[in-house]
Amino acid sequence: MVERLDGQVALITGAARGQGRSHAVRLAQMGADVIAVDICAQIDSVPYSLATKEDLAETVDQVVEQGRRCVAAQADVRDFVQLCEVIDTAAAELGGVDIVVANAGICPMGQTEIDQSQVFSDILAVNLIGVWNTVQAAAPIMTKQARGGAIVLISSTQGLTGRGGDGTAAMDGYCAAKHGVVGLMRTWAHWLAPHGIRVNSVHPTGVDTPMINNEAIQQHIATKPMMADALSNLMPVPLIEPLDVSNAVAWLVSEAARYVTGVMLPVDAGFAVK
């Protein structure tokens, strides 16, 4: 049984929809109040629609339905100053930060209309630098309040393998960023352990969210049969559900995992061992 999170505050980036919304609702079900952050705007190199203000408002509604408080903020994880401002303000309102789920990410596979160096740079900026910005903004709050806590970085099976690599900027950048997240997790586990703060990463296979289940990615994979096979799972399921990842996050941030830190946890239907 996963322990309750009553009295704790969870910061979640990319919270307007997909995995981020699922994490927010799942942790709210366990008793946590939520700081929900999302850019709610389009990034030019991303060929599918990103979340909207309306999506973020729906996340707030779903958290409130669980009987928890939710402070939502529109912010870009690439902007450290902006991120610090919204996190500081929300933490002051809700009473601190105990949990961080660095979830915001993009996967602009199939993008052919934007300079590929820009595609590569944007992925690193969101998926790696954005993770660094998030934790560097929240960790000082967590260490100052001196009540421990837990940080989960959402990586990917691409942070464990390079399967499906095709030499495109999108795949190169995504794989590099998700491997980089593991490096951050490991160094932060050392940094924050003396403060009673645990740091782990979760590595999902493909998840049924708009980031993966969109026309641009489907068309890209359809033209590369070998990639489709390489990205398949060992278990006979094409995509997992956001809740599958959220349940792993819920365990990692709970007291049930109180001595688990520095771990790479796959939620991948056997992808990594195939």
Catalytic residues: 174
In angstroms, the Cα distances linking 270 to 160, 200, 241 are 12, 19, 15
264-267 β-sheet, strand order: 70-74, 33-38, 9-13, 99-102, 149-154, 197-204, 264-267
Element (H, E) at 100: strand 99-102
Contact 83, 75 (CB under 8 A): yes
For tokens 């009473």, what's the residue?
Answer: 95
Which DSSP category does 121 fall into?
H
CB-CB contact of 14 with 98 (8 Å): no
Q: Could you report how far apart the first and last alpha carbons of the chain are, in Å?
A: 29
